[in-house]
C-alpha cells in the first residue's frame, strides 16, 4: 500500500490504497517511517516526493486504528511524523483530491507543497473528540497565522487548495493532474544545486525549531491518548466510521 522508487537520487513514495481513499493504517505508517529513516539521512538522496494514487492524496488516518487500545508512547503515525520532520533532503508533496487529518498536518513538514485549487483539506480532530496532532499545535500558527490556525483547527471545516495557498500553506497551485509533474520538476531542479549548501540551508531554516517541535509532539501524544480513551470520543469515531 506504500510504493517506492529511487532513481537518479530522487525517492518517490506513492500512498497506494485507492479503495480506501488512501487512508493510512499502522502498517502503512511503519513503511513510511522505514523509508524516511533510510533515505532521510542518505547522502545519495537529493529529494523525496510524496503523493497519492488515484487522484487522492490521503483521506487521513484509518479510523479503525483509533478504536484499538493505544499503547503508551508514540503511535506509528507519530513515529512517521518525527522521521519526516527530521529528513535532511527536501521533501516535496504533490496533493490532489482529499488531504484530511494527517494528510494536511504532514504538509507542515514538507519543504514544497503543490496542490490544485480544488484540493479539499480538513483538520477534523476536535470534531472527533481529539486534539491537534502532527505538530500543528506549534507549527500551524507559525505558517498561516493565529486567526487562520484557530479557524481550521476549531471549526474543523473543509478548506480548498486556493484558501490554503492564500494562507501560505501551499507553495504553488497547479492544474488538476499536474501536481506530480510539478513536484518532479522541482526535484530535478534541486538535484542540480550543490547538495551540501542545499542541506545546510534546510538545516538552518528548520533546525532552530526542532527542540520545540519534538516537545510539541510529546505533548500532543499525551493529550491525544487522553482524548482517545474517553467514551465520547470513541462514540464519535464509531459514528463517523458509519457515514
User: Could you report the per-residue pLDDT of 14-49, keeping only the tens digit for each?
Assistant: 999 999 999 999 999 999 999 999 999 999 999 999
- Cα separations (Å) of 37 from 28, 31, 84, 86? 14, 10, 8, 9
Task: Give the contacts of 169 (CB within 8 A, at least 6 positions apart).
Answer: 107, 113, 143, 144
The model's pTM: 0.95
Residue 72 — very low, low, confident or very high, per pLDDT cuts 50/70/90? confident
- Pairing verdict, β 47-52 and 10-15: parallel
Amino acid at each position: 500500500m506504500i510504493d517506492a522508487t529511487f532513481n537518479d537520487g530522487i525517492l518517490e513514495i506513492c500512498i497506494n490504497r485507492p479503495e480506501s481513499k488512501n487512508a493510512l493504517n499502522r502498517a502503512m505508517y511503519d513503511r513510511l517511517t522505514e523509508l524516511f529513516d533510510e533515505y532521510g539521512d542518505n547522502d545519495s538522496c537529493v529529494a523525496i516526493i510524496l503523493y497519492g494514487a488515484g487522484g487522492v492524496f490521503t483521506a487521513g488516518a484509518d479510523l479503525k486504528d483509533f478504536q484499538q487500545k493505544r499503547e503508551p508512547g508514540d503511535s506509528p503515525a507519530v513515529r512517521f511524523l518525527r522521521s519526516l520532520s527530521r529528513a535532511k533532503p527536501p521533501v516535496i508533496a504533490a496533493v490532489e483530491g482529499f488531504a484530511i487529518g494527517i494528510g494536511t498536518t504532514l504538509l507542515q513538514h514538507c519543504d514544497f507543497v503543490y496542490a490544485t485549487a480544488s484540493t479539499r483539506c480538513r483538520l477534523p480532530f476536535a470534531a472527533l473528540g481529539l486534539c491537534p496532532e502532527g505538530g500543528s499545535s506549534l507549527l500551524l500558527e507559525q505558517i498561516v497565522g493565529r486567526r487562520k490556525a484557530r479557524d481550521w483547527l476549531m471549526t474543523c471545516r473543509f478548506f480548498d487548495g486556493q484558501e490554503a495557498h492564500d494562507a501560505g500553506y501551499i507553495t504553488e497551485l497547479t492544474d488538476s493532474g499536474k501536481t506530480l509533474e510539478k513536484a518532479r520538476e522541482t526535484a530535478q531542479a534541486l538535484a542540480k544545486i550543490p547538495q551540501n549548501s542545499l542541506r545546510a540551508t534546510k538545516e538552518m531554516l528548520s533546525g532552530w525549531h526542532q527542540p520545540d517541535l519534538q516537545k510539541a509532539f510529546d505533548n500532543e501524544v499525551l493529550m491525544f491518548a487522553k482524548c482517545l480513551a474517553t467514551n465520547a470520543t470513541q462514540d464519535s469515531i464509531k459514528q463517523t466510521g458509519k457515514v
